[in-house]
Chains A and B, each alone.
Chain A
Amino acid sequence: MIIKFNKVTPDPLDGVTHFNTQIWDSTISFDSQNKYRINAASGRGKSTFIHLIYGLRQDYKGELFIDDINIQKIKNDKWAEIRQKHISIIFQDLRLFPELTALENINLKHTLSGFISKEKIATYFDVLKISHIKDKPAKLLSYGERQRVAILRALVQPFDLLLMDEPFSHLDAENARNAAEIISKECEERKAGYIFTSLGGESYFEIDETVLI
């Protein structure tokens, strides 16, 4: 899967892209088999970038293609299919269902594909050290716990590309390393790449290319 940005500028950044950027108002392609790190300070449109690829925003100038298809031409049903099978995401704001338990949040996504086994999910709960809270509603969890649930939710489906928007922002070093390990393992099994954004600092991931936004 190739994602191509052709002179894309999100409306909120229109006229203010005076900073040095390789993405906005430029032509750049991302290959789903590669591993990208997107580096930037706040306010440069990292989340916007992630959301654009995931099809959540229409407010931009320029053209954005997934495998040569302009994403504005992709219909709702096709997006559902892409999100079920080809692109997975860890939102910066997590987006869990607060009234569902940790496990139910995972199951909700898992029922769409049934991609990995329930045993594996249970193992990952252990690895991420959230087994003890799996039956607690998400609204009662700490941000760090919720972040790990969101990470796990992104891994229970098939994908060619994993989008991660500051996935470890609220994790300590050990938890971040554990999470990075299972993410890398799952990507390897799927022969998938990833794009993750970071404010800088340690990345915990193998990186093919770092792109400045």
Chain B
Amino acid sequence: MQKELLKIFRKRLRPFTFLLSGVGLVLGLSLVLVCLQLYLSIFKSLSTEISKAEYIILSKDISFGNTLLNSAAVISPAEMDDLKKQPFVEDIGVFIPNHFKVMAYAGGGLQLVTELFFESIPDEFVDNRPYNFRWEEGDEVLPIIVSEDFINLYNYGYALSNGFPQISKSTASLVPLEVKLQGSGKIVTMKAKIVGYSERVSSVLVPQSFMKWANTEIGNYKKKEQASRIIIKLNKEYSGGLESYLENKSLLINSEKLGLSKIGAIAKIVIDVLIIVGALFVVFSFMIVLTNFSLILSEAREDLVLLFQLGFKISSLISHLFVYLLVFIIMVMMVSIGVFLYINKSLASIFADRGIAVSSEIHFELLYCIVFLLIFLLGAGLFSISRNINKQV
């Protein structure tokens, strides 16, 4: 930077106007960055929720008629075929219930007896499936996967009120269990063991091979299997249509995750509005900066003309004046990033205090945003400066 040129233009720079428009720019830029960060955090945590919800469990809405006629609310084969054709469905698994009576006995001092039910689903739909969740005819121990909710219900509901000891997941799998299967005049007793816990399925799951064997050998149900509950693996790219479809077909979904995405959508709209406000701040403040620049240039008209007369190239005058803008923009951007980091940190602790899990980790997409903003601001600035100088000289 040539110091004589600097001296010529320095007196024209208006520190107060630049300071004011700089403050406006910092406000706008940091607002945009903070909102984008929040947006991405919410969007990303939502999409993890939705990816957890890539499995949903459906059942038929149980009507009064079902109760009256003692008919099961089942999903008909035609309905199944139609479901398979839907774009949001990747795979469907049918829940097979037990058609025999199950009594479970807990040993090890618990002295717990309960009637129980089993369900099975195809292996690929079982989450957290341990290696030993297998059963072949002749095996003495029946592996069971129970819902995590059951352990919670037992620990915080049943155990507390009945004076039973609370048990952890790992001790629960050590409790010796015995099941008595009863049906078609047969009684089979076997050992059982909890081998895992499912977040996805609220049920007591046994391997499908066992269920098929038991329903045939012990069960009293000879009719063709009908689906009352099904589990669907959702196509990850599904875009809406799911909820309305389910409503039309009076199918019930057991997942709360879709409700969550509604809240997320509202939050997104709020953040969208804030981003627009921030962007408007940026645009208006930057227009003040550019107006200020063109004012400086028209005041410096004589200087510019004389410099040109002395042999300075217009392009070198443009690049000299552009350096002022560059320094200004970079300073503004650095302050904005500082403000953003501070707000992000404060927000993280506010969220943590309220128990909201929003990551304060900075998303790398912000870097694109910063680069884009820099290119936009500097590009528009360069255009405006060179247009103004060419007009003056």
Contacts and interface: CB of A to CB of B under 8 A. Distances in A.
B314 A76 contact: yes
Given A76-B393, A97-B303, 20 more contacts: A56-B309, A76-B308, A76-B313, A76-B314, A77-B313, A77-B314, A80-B308, A80-B312, A80-B314, A95-B306, A95-B309, A99-B8, A99-B11, A100-B4, A105-B4, A108-B4, A108-B5, A111-B2, A112-B310, A112-B311
Interface in B142-176: none
A83 B4 CA distance: 19
A7 interface: no
B314 A104 contact: no
A32 interface: no
**Number of contact residues on B: which range applies?**
10 to 19
Contacts of B186: none
A109 interface: yes
Nearest to A84: B311
Contacts of A77: 313-315
Contacts of A99: 7-8, 11
Interface of B: 2-5, 7-8, 11, 303, 306, 308-315, 393
Contact of B306 (A79, A81, A97, A157): A97
A47 interface: no
Given A76-B314, A76-B393, A80-B314, A100 B308 contact: no
The list of the 10 closest CB pairs from A to B, nearest first, reads: A83-B311, A84-B311, A108-B4, A80-B313, A104-B4, A76-B314, A80-B311, A112-B311, A95-B306, A107-B4
Nearest to A97: B8
A112 B11 contact: no
Given A99-B8, A99-B11, A108 B313 contact: no
Interface of chain A, main secondary structure: helix
Interface string A84-118: 10000000000101011000110111011000000
A29 B50 CA distance: 85
Contact of B310 (A76, A81, A104, A109): A109
Interface of A: 54, 56, 76-77, 79-84, 95, 97, 99-100, 104-105, 107-109, 111-112, 157
Contacts of B310: 83, 108-109, 112
A111 B311 CA distance: 11
18 contacts: A56-B309, A76-B314, A77-B315, A80-B308, A80-B311, A83-B310, A84-B311, A100-B4, A104-B4, A104-B7, A105-B4, A108-B2, A108-B4, A108-B310, A111-B2, A111-B4, A112-B310, A112-B311
A84 B316 CA distance: 13
B314 to A, nearest CB: 5
Nearest to B11: A99
A93 to B, nearest CB: 11
B4 A157 contact: no
B55 to A, nearest CB: 68
Contacts of B3: 104
Contacts of B308: 76, 79-80
Contacts of A97: 4, 8, 303, 306
A97 B4 CA distance: 10
Contact of B312 (A95, A100, A105, A112): A112
Contacts of A81: 311
A97 B306 CA distance: 9
Contacts of A111: 2, 4
A50 to B, nearest CB: 12
A183 to B, nearest CB: 18
B218 to A, nearest CB: 97
